[in-house]
Structure 1
């Protein structure tokens, strides 16, 4: 069958653009196709969706061919109604007229005329047939025609939910349906984590999934190094608990800037609709933009969404509100902010730690995420472990610290006191967590049993027993340490031992020369910040301690980002000071707080906006002399701000064009673009927009394919077709498909974006915290990067403090890795201290980064934690062979079809958008494709159940004798169903009969390395919920027949 349809309801300006040569006809058709797809996705009527999917299947099967006719001029549309029918004997019916099947047919006068070849001869019919054939062959003068091919039909089917082939009639009626196999595998616990996400995990992430959940309640610290995928690991754990253990009330606590990213990732990869709390509007907002206005914890019988994402900053400010929640699972991102620190005054904890600590006694399941569990002091890591529930002996920080000394002091002679501590810690871990790791040797297990027996007899006997075999028990301590039990941590160096490949890094920094006039501006900034910045706020709270040093260093960071950012920031600062001054002059204390709040927000929270929330009350408490002091300080600050702005104004309005940093970036960008796409990073939107304005005036902007702009609040793509709003996925796709060559990124893009199609990064400004720099670099220097070397260009103004310190750090790879991986705050604090000393010359701050890093490297805590985290790291059964089977199955099923074009790039390699997993839509398309089986169907395939839970596939050659399919052989099973392969003994377990089925199925699940085993260990939580178990009768359901095994 052949069908030609016309393009209707296309804007006239598009038709005009096409007729003038400004828009190609194929571009018009592409826009039409995209509009069709987007409209079909909105259909709710099942009958309409069924009709469209039926047509799409006819197109995919080659039964129906469809072309689209676009007019060659802007004067009309293709509106012909013509039909030609031909039977096997050659008889033809040709009709033409105004037949209308739309609503208009009820009111219009319509008619059709038919010519019959056997009555009128072929004269009337021939004209109509000839006209149709000319249109079909694209030879008609008035219209251009384009194919709607099988690839488009496949997209139609995906938009309608990928329904099965309604016209499929299997040649072997008792053959297994591949679509049913997929449906079951996606529902079965034996196929976790492969059936939990559209994303494909790396082996180390699969291992974290199994280890993190092999305890009950689930209480764990996910601490992979920066860039190794903690968010995806956490999402997989959340999805598993929600899908298989009905944990419905889940709250995720994240930094404010990451709320949308978490929400998008959970929806995109796991189809979990988490609602974010929008505190500004007192409403929850879903992934799809729906809103529920409500109080945070619900009121008057109105319930809140069960899946929530909440800002950690808001929760800290509203602890009484947040602690009203009673989730079953609490996830805390950037958990190192929940910190316990040792100071000269004793131990102190952050507000976030206190908040999570209170919740930890009420929430059974707790997942913490951080790449840096210990920032400076071992008390910080101990504080995180305490949130998860330490055994009694380990709650004492001195005991914990002593455990690190024991592990670090491998050659020290043991004492009876130290042996006693070691004995108590080991016994406490074993008894409290009911945990004997599988990697303990038989001899070690026997030693532990003997120790427990002797310690029960007498603590002294236990200590002597340990002292006699101290090094053996030291090794046992490493394996049983809470740091090992609670923490799942992968490092790049550790993964390289198992064949992971990370690209080399080439760092460079172009030399920048500052003109004399700009040197005067730089000196003026230092003078302003050291003597006048923040004095107005200090005067507003004369009896309070104001964090002026931190505010100065943060503002300095913004001002030295670029001249354009400095100019914008100084204007906003002036507006803020004027607002305060004008309020006092009016004696009304009405600051226009909405406006002031906007100003503060623009300043990147340099001075916390909460400081200004109750500014009226602060002013009302001041006496006349204190008010005068505010006014004097405000006038002085305004004077210096105006002087700085005058220097910049003298340079002209186009600051980007005279900024030596921007000039250096332009030269670097031109060079790097010859190698491939480039990411341009800045922390500040002002800097990005300033540089973008310079770039767009250059010839480079016209020479590149296109470019994109990505910040937390603005994402767009510009190509030859114009500017269009975009999503994170759009940016990634456009870069992969070489539609764009440059992405201008704020730090919002340094989380969750995989942009390894680029191989160069230019940092217009460099984060003081090296972990944040690593986040940026991690967009390209990641698994899946094809280039052997990536380029990182750091741009600094001459003589800047961060330039001097980073230059020294990058000279030594081990120093850099230590600073990034474990102690980023040491480095950022060192820079901040240097800046503070520059801006406060009367208050010198002692700082020696090199000495600090040497001390940390040699410190017992660093040595001990390295041993704990890296001990017994084992390779994990890779699922890549399973994914390779998926690739081969898809290609074999769709290889002769145009549908393969939509999936030609699928890959078994994890970590990119083309990675194929168990939930990939390509498998659905392949499973619904008709097959012709040429092999003998000798075996029955069964689905085995315990109760109503699908467990595994079973193969049977003989009645009442089964063998279970190993989950990683699911791709092989699909290939077998298609007749392209045969299952082998290696794909199946041992034989068993129906009478032994219950025990066999349970042992099968228990022995799968990919499935979490909650009974393996227990965590400490009062009134903990019972560990989930699968209960019910065993049953087998016959799915049909497959080819025989080899």
Structure 2
């Protein structure tokens, strides 16, 4: 220090003080202690300046940074024990992390990452200071420097690490020990030591540990360690290996998503993309991850085959869900079409006002999500699009039905059918591909492109009868049909499916030869070996070729474990006065509800029965929901009446009924297809009829509201259903977290008000509210807005014990930390109930049994029907997995009969399910979908290698705390995959290799495409690394393992490299093999090929293999 040109007092700009004093002194320091009064991102940036000199001296720094602007109410809450000090600091840690996202200056980001690495390397220790009381703030500024000769500089003054202080005039007074003696510095040193040891009276300090440093690094893009100097300069860089693996096609699907796929999803990925163009129906049962499967396929096509124009057609209520999932898991920024504002909105909330398909030279986003309902009502607009890939969710809504009047199709089917001849790649998604009539599934297959013989529905239907009638004696006619279908399937493809045996391929070749001679000869040949050709038919059936389907029962055969389910329903007793209300609802709905709308559209067919049953669901959800709904209904009828009084008017479709709300998902029904987009102008007599009907309906609404008003204002407290739910909730909370579901936000809010008045609300850790439009978490620290991920994390970390959910939470949320569900109301469609149950009864659930409590008012129709259904597991699985509409239609029919006594509807659910189970379609498709289902090479060992690699690299540092919960098991937020941030942190950590580096590691390329890693012990002799051994390679680079012959392919020389690399890719089960298949899309693009010269780039050396 004595050799530096410094003085003891400075009064100048903060930048001058830093340049003339702080940075030169740090260059000579071996220890630096700092107190600073402000906790902001710029504190970190400023402190980082000059620390490289300290690092070069093998020095260390201790830093205390203060939380300056703590709200007084938070300090008071902390002093009263209502808020833990750690919670206060956590809030400010999160604020600091959020500020980093606003930085645009790369130099500032670099400074932060360098400082974070110093924290992780143990050179810098940081603590946060918070005042113990609300009377003051932590506002101390102090610097203490020590050099290697024992000299000390201690200073204090106004200098702070903020943006403004760099330009502001500041004052600093320094005591130099060689001038003033140590008495001038001892008091400042002693005060610092008290604060550092958390012994100061007015201040509490808390560590900013390596876990926080890791988060800082992740926020700045996880840059490599700038201070890392490898002891083995020719060793391979693990970070480079990760970078290459994430870019290589051989490592799909592991490098496509931050989410980790289950084996069955990996298999669907490879199978779905095994044809070109990609035209496939993804049809896994509810809860098995179709959205993630589709997202992986989309990501693959976008990343590796430059498919840039993609449109996803989804139900209106799922648009945000899809957008969030694609951004979160794949970093694909899809823009949703906001028809109300005529704008596209990005994942980050950016907006582009435009016409739907673009105009005046303005282009629309290339990645789009569009409401199926909007597209159905605006087909001329939608069909202007020319995407390369069209994805259709809930594709079963695109139906072709056989009626006594002939064939009819929904608007959605017509829309997709028109697009299917213009779009090369088409992916359909549905959990229920098999509907009641075979024509409905045949209609979906037709969209994907059936071979000529299969387009005839009678031929398709006959194929199902052939497969279902395994023991029937073949006829010549049936044999002829079978021969034609097989030949048609083979001739529609330019390849022979790999799952055919050599003997089967020979039989097909002989059949084609004989059929070319004479159709009769072909039929005779098939008839002589009918069962063999029946097996071939199953393998070549379009239902097999086009459909990827997994079922829970099928997966259990391969070791998948799903929890047992315990269903229960508490008994509810309705008071006499509420029985009167229930009877009044039935009277109102049967005689008066919807009459106003019917009068408004005298020349159109108003779906009154459907409307009544939908409104009935809402009214029987809870008393609170009934009250709110009736008030809204009254307001609407009054508005119609007032408007009619003013003048006759033309009502638009959107004004038709208040039952059409997003949470009802009523718009998913196709009954709007038949409505006129404009309603007729009313004449005088029709206006009078509207008025009369409106007055009658208002009279009955007022009577119902009067019954409820007589019960008092606090309806939730007197609702017997809510009382039963409270008792069940109290019992289930003793076992663990609970999800409380309702279809209706009104019901959720009504129950929430009752819960918050109870002692339970104060006893639980916290709770959350999750609906389509509102998400928040409440803990001891207060209420905070949240995301879907926040809710999942809070539940996993036991910060909350109850989640109040609408059906928006039944899609895509993994909440298996809970083990109980209470359904305040139960969906009529069992597939929707299964969606709710699937939040907890899923892979990864640790409890052996989950609890499902269904709550009904006594004697309700759904209670009676569900009770019977749940008694028979086979019936329930059939209703949920294959025919959910059968069950929901049965309930709706029963309700319709209740509300329309003069129009009985015949329905026998038990008989219907028996008939369906024995139906030839059910038998045949079950055999088609389950044929040739084989287990898929497990990637879990690779992920276990990732876990062991991360732990071995970070085990001796505090950084492991951030990743201590990582797991090789897929399906949860801690699952580690190839894109996991823990691997980046581990790959950049310093290593000391103690093993001999005997082998060269190469990156092999075809053209500019990275293909695989290659290992070489001898010049011009290589062996390729199997993709699933990438984790083993990382462990080898770290010196913790060695590659074995099982991790590598066979040897080859440079001269054989091109053929060997191509065969290597072709033989990988995880990589899609795009085999050409003819489709109805005539101008199909060529199947993608990897072209170019083979090259090898040396990445460095690794330890020898065993």
Tell me if both proteins adopt one fold, taking TM over 0.5 as the criterion.
Answer: yes
Q: Is the 8 A contact 2:601 2:680 kept in 1?
A: no
Change (3 A) 1:310 1:533: same
What is the Cα deviation at residue 438 of structure 1? 1.9
Q: Is the 8 A contact 1:536 1:634 kept in 2?
A: yes
Measured against aligned partners, the alpha-carbon deviations of 1:258-310 in whole angstroms (never above 9, x if no partner) come to 00000000000000000000000000000000000000000000000000000
| Separation in 1, partners of 2:841, 2:321 | 21
What is the Cα deviation at residue 1018 of structure 1? 4.9
| Separation in 1, partners of 2:322, 2:516 | 49
Change (3 A) 1:340 1:992: same
Q: Is the 8 A contact 2:397 2:410 kept in 1?
A: yes
Aligned pair partner of 2:69 in 2, 6, 9: 9
| Separation in 2, partners of 1:239, 1:607 | 30
What is the Cα deviation at residue 611 of structure 1? 11
Match of 1:136 in 2: 196
Q: Is the 8 A contact 2:264 2:550 kept in 1?
A: yes
Measured against aligned partners, the alpha-carbon deviations of 1:769-811 in whole angstroms (never above 9, x if no partner) come to 1101100110010000011111111111111111111111111
| Separation in 1, partners of 2:678, 2:513 | 66
Measured against aligned partners, the alpha-carbon deviations of 1:840-871 in whole angstroms (never above 9, x if no partner) come to 11111111101100100111111000000001
| Separation in 2, partners of 1:859, 1:942 | 58
| Separation in 1, partners of 2:821, 2:427 | 33
Q: TM-score, normalised by structure 2?
A: 0.92
Measured against aligned partners, the alpha-carbon deviations of 1:593-646 in whole angstroms (never above 9, x if no partner) come to 999987854894769999999999978732222221111111111111111111
| Separation in 1, partners of 2:431, 2:683 | 49
Change (3 A) 1:103 1:956: closer
Measured against aligned partners, the alpha-carbon deviations of 1:980-1034 in whole angstroms (never above 9, x if no partner) come to 0000000000000000000000000000000000026554420110110000000
| Separation in 1, partners of 2:374, 2:136 | 58
Match of 1:416 in 2: 476
| 1:793 maps to 2:846 | no
Matched position secondary structure for 1:298: coil
Change (3 A) 1:373 1:769: same
Q: Is the 8 A contact 1:935 1:1043 kept in 2?
A: yes
Change (3 A) 1:732 1:580: same
Change (3 A) 1:613 1:281: farther
Change (3 A) 1:254 1:556: same
What is the Cα deviation at residue 51 of structure 1? 0.5
What is the Cα deviation at residue 954 of structure 1? 0.3
Matched position secondary structure for 1:102: coil
Greater CA deviation, 574-583 or 1-10? 1-10
Matched position secondary structure for 1:280: helix
Alignment of 1:106-121 (within 5 A): 108-121=168-181
Matched position secondary structure for 2:696: helix
What is the Cα deviation at residue 168 of structure 1? 0.1
Q: Is the 8 A contact 1:297 1:324 kept in 2?
A: yes
| 1:900 maps to 2:960 | yes
What is the Cα deviation at residue 707 of structure 1? 0.8
What is the Cα deviation at residue 512 of structure 1? 1.0
Q: TM-score, normalised by structure 1?
A: 0.97
| Separation in 2, partners of 1:789, 1:153 | 40
What is the Cα deviation at residue 70 of structure 1? 2.1
Q: Is the 8 A contact 1:569 1:603 kept in 2?
A: no
Matched position secondary structure for 1:65: strand
What is the Cα deviation at residue 519 of structure 1? 1.1
What is the Cα deviation at residue 400 of structure 1? 0.1
| Separation in 1, partners of 2:1005, 2:522 | 48
Q: Is the 8 A contact 2:649 2:681 kept in 1?
A: no
What is the Cα deviation at residue 103 of structure 1? 5.2
What is the Cα deviation at residue 9 of structure 1? 3.6
Change (3 A) 1:646 1:79: closer
Change (3 A) 1:999 1:600: closer
Change (3 A) 1:402 1:610: closer
Greater CA deviation, 435-444 or 867-876? 435-444
Greater CA deviation, 144-153 or 254-263? 144-153
What is the Cα deviation at residue 699 of structure 1? 1.1
Measured against aligned partners, the alpha-carbon deviations of 1:219-245 in whole angstroms (never above 9, x if no partner) come to 000000000000000000000000000
Q: Is the 8 A contact 1:176 1:1040 kept in 2?
A: yes
Greater CA deviation, 904-913 or 567-576? 567-576
Greater CA deviation, 232-241 or 116-125? 116-125
Q: Provide structure 2 residue ranges, at least 5 long, that are not aligned to the other structure.
A: 1-60
| Separation in 1, partners of 2:448, 2:68 | 62
Change (3 A) 1:1009 1:664: same
Match of 1:469 in 2: 529
Change (3 A) 1:109 1:205: closer
| Separation in 1, partners of 2:310, 2:824 | 39
Match of 1:45 in 2: 105
Q: Is the 8 A contact 2:648 2:687 kept in 1?
A: no
Q: Is the 8 A contact 1:583 1:590 kept in 2?
A: no
Change (3 A) 1:251 1:839: same
What is the Cα deviation at residue 730 of structure 1? 0.6
Matched position secondary structure for 2:284: coil
Measured against aligned partners, the alpha-carbon deviations of 1:478-510 in whole angstroms (never above 9, x if no partner) come to 011000000000000000000000011111111
Q: Is the 8 A contact 1:215 1:1019 kept in 2?
A: no
| Separation in 1, partners of 2:654, 2:921 | 48
Matched position secondary structure for 1:144: strand
Greater CA deviation, 197-206 or 116-125? 116-125
| Separation in 1, partners of 2:798, 2:1097 | 49
What is the Cα deviation at residue 434 of structure 1? 2.8
Greater CA deviation, 17-26 or 930-939? 17-26
| Separation in 2, partners of 1:586, 1:975 | 80
Match of 2:663 in 1: 603
Match of 2:1068 in 1: 1008
What is the Cα deviation at residue 92 of structure 1? 2.3
What is the Cα deviation at residue 588 of structure 1? 5.9
| Separation in 2, partners of 1:82, 1:354 | 74
Greater CA deviation, 211-220 or 78-87? 78-87
What is the Cα deviation at residue 586 of structure 1? 2.2
Q: Is the 8 A contact 2:614 2:659 kept in 1?
A: no
| 1:522 maps to 2:582 | yes
| Separation in 1, partners of 2:672, 2:381 | 22
Change (3 A) 1:614 1:889: closer
| Separation in 1, partners of 2:268, 2:1078 | 17
Matched position secondary structure for 1:620: coil
| Separation in 2, partners of 1:867, 1:299 | 50
Change (3 A) 1:21 1:766: closer
| 1:71 maps to 2:131 | yes
Greater CA deviation, 550-559 or 67-76? 67-76
Q: Is the 8 A contact 1:682 1:746 kept in 2?
A: yes
Q: Is the 8 A contact 1:432 1:1020 kept in 2?
A: no
Change (3 A) 1:255 1:925: same
Q: Is the 8 A contact 1:572 1:599 kept in 2?
A: no
Change (3 A) 1:386 1:317: same
Matched position secondary structure for 1:598: coil
Q: Is the 8 A contact 2:344 2:352 kept in 1?
A: yes
What is the Cα deviation at residue 698 of structure 1? 1.1
What is the Cα deviation at residue 85 of structure 1? 2.2
| Separation in 2, partners of 1:104, 1:716 | 36
Match of 2:766 in 1: 706
Change (3 A) 1:109 1:1007: closer
Matched position secondary structure for 1:990: coil
Match of 1:942 in 2: 1002
What is the Cα deviation at residue 577 of structure 1? 1.0
Greater CA deviation, 303-312 or 144-153? 144-153
| Separation in 1, partners of 2:1028, 2:1007 | 24
Q: Is the 8 A contact 1:150 1:898 kept in 2?
A: yes
Change (3 A) 1:23 1:593: same
Match of 1:27 in 2: 87
Equivalenced residues, count: 1046
Match of 2:992 in 1: 932
| Separation in 2, partners of 1:935, 1:345 | 80
Change (3 A) 1:536 1:887: same
Q: Is the 8 A contact 1:882 1:968 kept in 2?
A: yes
What is the Cα deviation at residue 147 of structure 1? 1.3
| Separation in 2, partners of 1:475, 1:963 | 40
Q: Is the 8 A contact 1:673 1:741 kept in 2?
A: yes
Measured against aligned partners, the alpha-carbon deviations of 1:871-925 in whole angstroms (never above 9, x if no partner) come to 1100000000000000000000000100000000000000000000000000000
Match of 2:17 in 1: none
Q: Is the 8 A contact 2:474 2:527 kept in 1?
A: yes
